[in-house]
Amino acid sequence: MMRYLSAAAAGVLFALGLAVSGMTKPAKVVGFLDLFGAWDASLAFVMAGAIGVHFVAQRLIKRRAAPLFDGRFHLPTRRDIDARLVVGAVLFGVGWGLGGFCPGPGLVSAGSGSSGALVFVLGMTVGMLAEHWGVRLTSSRGRVS
Amino acid sequence: MHDFTPWSALAGGALIGLAASLFLLTHGKVAGISGLYGGIFRREASDRGMRAAFVVGLLAAGVALRVAAPGLFSTSWSASLPLTAVAGLLVGFGTQLGNGCTSGHGVCGLSRLSVRSLVATGSFMVAGFATVYVARHLLGGGR
């Protein structure tokens, strides 16, 4: 039970941070990405605040033998830079610039009932399923040939 | 520069950092929202219930904030619904292909000094800047 409650609590806290920082306003996000227009630098401060806290906290947390509600840590170990990473990030960046939503603010705003965010989350879910399907398709083809 | 809100941005950012830290402390995982949400739909998904609980937390906070502080969602600009759907498709596909978004690569990855996350964050930032430049200043689509 504590596993689920703590995950939900982290989700609530994350959503509060996104809303307080202005990330749930697409206009503000696009204002930040509008480097050559009336640039609003606020979102750089969001990143600075988040990384400032997490940089220190994650170092302290990783000194533990294990997290509270799991047997061990499951942190990414890959170090290679491949085309999937860069192409994926670029596609994400284009979508972020077009809609002003990244996944977290999209979900929080969908919870708030915003029709734009609901459409965004629907599109995002379809895009995710398409990627999963594409990976299954190419990997099963790889096995056949 | 208009609408510059450095203090609320810094405070909200600190809350995001705390949330990612709480998740790491309790579950030992990176709090990457695209990964946690997308993982719910993977056939081989592990921890589907825990992932869903995190997403329910995000959505429930959205419901509560709509009542408590609707101004946090008000917006002077939003993309048209068809464009928003296309944006969603790109964000969904791209974050699964590139293994992360603003939270997983941007906040958690940079905090962990991950080179992969630095490359990803640089790539999506530059793509975002370029997209808004083209949409707003070359095509004049943005209001």
pLDDT of residue B141: 55
Nearest to B107 among A51, A70, A128 (CB): A51
Question: How far is the CA of B18 from the CAs of A15, A87, B9, B108, in angstroms?
Answer: 11, 30, 14, 11
Question: How far is the CA of B72 from the CAs of A12, A19, A94, in angstroms?
Answer: 15, 6, 24
The strand pairing partners of B29, in sequence order, are: A74
Higher pLDDT, B77 or A134: A134
Q: Which residues contact A22 (CB under 8 A, 6 or more apart)?
A: A28, A42, A43, A46, B5, B8, B9, B12, B72
pLDDT of A142 over the 70 cut: no
pLDDT of residue B115: 97
pLDDT of residue B140: 75
| Structure-block tokens of residue B130 | 């370029």
Interface check A126 vs B, CB under 8 A: yes
Q: Quick one: which of B111, B100, B25 has its CA closest to A49?
A: B111
| Mean pLDDT of the A57-82 span | 96
Per-residue pLDDT tens for A33-60? 999 998 999 999 999 999 999 999 999 9
CB burial of B48-75 (b: ≥16 within 10 Å; e: otherwise) equals eebbbbbbbbbbbbbebbbeeeeebbeb
Cross-chain residue pair A89–B41, CB shorter than 8 Å? no
Q: Quick one: which of A128, A42, A121, A113 has its CA closest to B70?
A: A113
The strand pairing partners of A74, in sequence order, are: B29
Interface check A10 vs B, CB under 8 A: yes
Cross-chain residue pair A126–B41, CB shorter than 8 Å? no
Cross-chain residue pair B13–A10, CB shorter than 8 Å? no
Other Cβ atoms within 10 Å of A1 Cβ, number: 6
Contact A18, A24 (CB under 8 A): yes
In angstroms, the CA B118 to CA B57 distance is 28
Taking the CA of residue A39 and the nearest CA in chain B, the distance in Å comes to 5
CB contacts, 8 Å: B46 with chain A: none
pLDDT of A90 over the 90 cut: yes
Q: Quick one: which of A10, A2, A4, A1 has its CA closest to A104?
A: A10
Q: Which residue has the tokens 């809350």?
A: B15
Other Cβ atoms within 10 Å of A68 Cβ, number: 14
The domain locations on chain A are 2-144
Cross-chain residue pair A124–B92, CB shorter than 8 Å? yes
Q: Which residues contact B41 (CB under 8 A, 6 or more apart)?
A: A125, A128, A129, A132
In angstroms, the CA A14 to CA B66 distance is 16
Read off the amino acid at residue B141. G
pLDDT of A141 over the 80 cut: no
Cα torsion angle, B55, A112, B5, B91, sign: positive
pLDDT of A145 over the 50 cut: no
| Structure-block tokens of residue A141 | 């083809």
Cross-chain residue pair B88–A106, CB shorter than 8 Å? yes
Cross-chain residue pair B3–A40, CB shorter than 8 Å? yes
For every one of its 143 residues, what pLDDT tens digit does chain B have, with 9 covering 90 and above?
458 999 999 999 999 999 999 999 999 999 999 999 999 999 888 899 999 999 999 999 999 999 999 889 866 678 899 999 999 999 999 999 999 999 999 999 999 999 999 999 999 999 999 999 999 999 875 44
Taking the CA of residue A143 and the nearest CA in chain B, the distance in Å comes to 18
Instruction: Please give the residue of chain A at the shortest CA–CA distance from B23.
Output: A10
pLDDT of residue B75: 65
Q: Which residue has the tokens 């603003």?
A: B102
